[in-house]
């Protein structure tokens, strides 16, 4: 019996283990749901293209491409979706939504749906368009961390959907050119120093339907470490109280004399602390399934705006790594807690593959108080044991049903016999 069960289990494992099936997507209102895209922040007056990269990647990985399916993009206004057909300022072009140009009123949640008569997949992407006079540069900017002394070569991010040339990209810092150079659309800074930190804006003119539009992106450069020439002294004497420098030494030797100088103490800034994940954590997921990672940092509330939190892939930024097209970081959220402020930063991986095995993911946080990093790894979930258990349970249930069926068929029939009562011979009624 045991040998038969194991034989069935081996057959089932050999059939499914080569390519384990992808886990099913959650379903809502008859449509399969895909992870929401990372929130997009843009400025009005510029061209915007929503392309739903994570949604399209899920369709590709799961080979969801029925020939008669239709791709529809709508804006969710809470009651019913607004569709975009034909030509206009906002229009759908294949699997993209174009804003030519965008307005602040375009802010909202946009739904992409891929459906036919029998199948439906849906995803979403939040879009926030700021008025030019109320721009939140921290939310608009892509965070970049560089150590003092390193050479920076940074491209203008998130322009792959536009028809442009690298020579048409111009970089500015604080609305003017800074002490940096440019080469084929890249921002170049040799031997980065603290003074190079700040927000850089790259601007480009793109051509859409034979008409030019403006597009800009912002990069927030965070410089780690101190310049070689900078030294720190926690106590600074204030000689403004006396005109004779000699009084400094005499007053410092006598506690009864009037104070001739004051000491300024620099307040101690506590470094940020990564609450989760823990160092050495291994994130596992099945082949082809999505994965969402969350880095949680605790810091002082007054330091929260200047505290950097970012994900690195094998020591590189997500945009510069091999995961550029399959992973997105964003959705930074700050929450006030009783013991300080909590910062959360998401990293969404669309689909796990064999290439991601042993990939090193590092969450890094830093402010003026210090720096901390946590190293984690990606790993494919081993489904051998899972499928073995499933196979054994399935075969056991099958054999149990067969046994009950055979027992019912070959159950011996009871013969009808007359009952006899024994009574004594001399009994009387």
pLDDT digits (tens, 9 = 90+) for 157-181: 888 888 776 567 888 887 565 556 7
The number of beta carbons lying within 10 Å of the beta carbon of residue 337 is 9
> What are the residue ranges spanned by the domains of the chain?
24-133, 136-224, 273-380
Of residues 136 and 353, the one with the higher pLDDT is 353
Lowest mean pLDDT among 83-87, 128-132, 284-288: 83-87
- Distance, in Å, from the CA atom of 108 to the CA atom of 75, rounded to the nearest integer, reads 7
* pLDDT score recorded for residue 409: 76
| Strands 31-33 and 120-130, bridge-based pairing | parallel
The pLDDT tens digits of the residues spanning 182-231 come to 777 888 888 888 888 888 999 898 888 888 899 999 988 888 888 775 44
CATH number listed for the domain at residues 273-380:
2.60.40.10
Using alpha carbons only, give the angle 118, 124, 128 rounded to the nearest 5 degrees.
155
Return the pLDDT at 357. Answer: 81
Domain with residues 24-133, CATH architecture? Sandwich (2.60)
When pLDDT is averaged across residues 380-390 and rounded to a whole number, the result is 58
Where residue 46 falls among pLDDT bands split at 50, 70, 90? very high
Rg (CA), the chain: 33
Please determine whether the domains at 24-133 and 273-380 fall in the same fold group of CATH.
yes
78-115 confidence digits (pLDDT tens): 555 677 776 789 999 888 999 999 999 999 999 988 88
**CA distance linking residue 304 with residue 321, whole number of Å:** 27
Query: Does the model's pTM come out above 0.75?
Result: no
Q: What is the DSSP string of 138-158?
A: HHHEEEEEEETT--EEEEPSS
Lowest mean pLDDT among 22-31, 125-134, 311-320: 22-31
In order of 35, 87, 178, 328, the CA distances from 124 in angstroms are 8, 23, 38, 14
Q: Give the whole-angstrom CA distance, residue 343 versus residue 335.
A: 6
Q: Which residues contact 276 (CB under 8 A, 6 or more apart)?
A: 294, 295, 296
Asked whether 102 and 129 are in contact (CB, 8 A), the reply is yes
Superfamily classification of domain 136-224: Immunoglobulins (2.60.40.10)
pLDDT over threshold 60, residue 232: no
- Contact yes or no for 352/361 (Cβ under 8 A): no
pLDDT exceeds 50 at position 2: no
Q: Which candidate, 267, 307, 308, 313, places its Cα nearest to that of 291?
A: 313
């Amino acid at each position: 019996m045991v040998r038969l069960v194991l034989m069935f289990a081996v057959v089932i494992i050999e059939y499914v283990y080569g390519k384990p099936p992808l886990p099913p997507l959650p379903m809502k209102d008859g449509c399969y749901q895909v992870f929401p895209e990372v929130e997009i922040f843009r400025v009005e007056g510029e061209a915007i293209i929503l392309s739903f990269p994570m949604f399209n990647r899920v369709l590709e990985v799961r080979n969801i491409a029925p020939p008669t399916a239709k791709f529809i993009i709508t804006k969710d206004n809470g009651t019913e979706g607004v569709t975009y057909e034909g030509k206009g300022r906002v229009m759908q072009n294949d699997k993209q939504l174009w804003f030519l140009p965008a307005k602040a009123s375009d802010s909202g949640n946009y739904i992409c749906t891929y459906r036919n008569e029998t199948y439906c997949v849906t995803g979403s992407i939040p879009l926030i368009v700021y008025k030019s006079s109320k721009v939140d540069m921290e939310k608009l900017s892509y965070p970049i961390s560089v150590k003092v002394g390193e050479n920076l070569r940074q491209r203008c991010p998130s322009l792959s959907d536009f028809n442009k040339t690298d020579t048409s990209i111009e970089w500015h810092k604080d609305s003017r050119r800074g002490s940096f150079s440019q080469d084929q659309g890249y921002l170049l800074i040799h031997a980065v120093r603290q003074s190079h930190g700040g927000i850089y804006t790259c601007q480009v003119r793109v051509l859409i339907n034979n008409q030019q539009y403006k597009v800009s992106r912002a990069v927030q450069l965070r410089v780690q470490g101190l310049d070689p020439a900078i030294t720190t002294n926690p106590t600074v004497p204030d000689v403004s109280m006396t005109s004779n420098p000699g009084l400094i030494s005499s007053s410092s030797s006598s506690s009864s004399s009037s104070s001739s100088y004051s000491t300024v103490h620099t307040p101690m800034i506590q470094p940020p602390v990564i609450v989760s994940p823990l160092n050495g954590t291994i994130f596992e997921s099945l082949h082809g399934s999505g994965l969402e990672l969350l880095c949680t940092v605790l810091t002082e509330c007054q330091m929260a705006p200047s505290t950097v939190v970012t994900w690195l892939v094998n020591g590189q930024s997500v945009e510069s790594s091999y995961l550029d097209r399959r992973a997105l970081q964003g959705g930074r959220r700050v929450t006030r807690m009783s013991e300080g402020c909590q910062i959360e930063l998401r990293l969404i991986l669309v689909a796990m593959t064999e290439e991601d095995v042993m990939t090193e993911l590092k969450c890094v946080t830093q402010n003026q108080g210090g720096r901390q990093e946590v190293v984690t790894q990606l790993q494919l979930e081993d489904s051998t044991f899972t499928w073995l258990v499933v196979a054994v349970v399935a075969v056991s249930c099958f054999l149990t049903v067969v046994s009950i069926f055979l027992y019912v068929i070959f159950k011996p029939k009871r013969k009808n016999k007359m009952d006899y009562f024994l009574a004594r011979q001399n009994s009387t009624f």
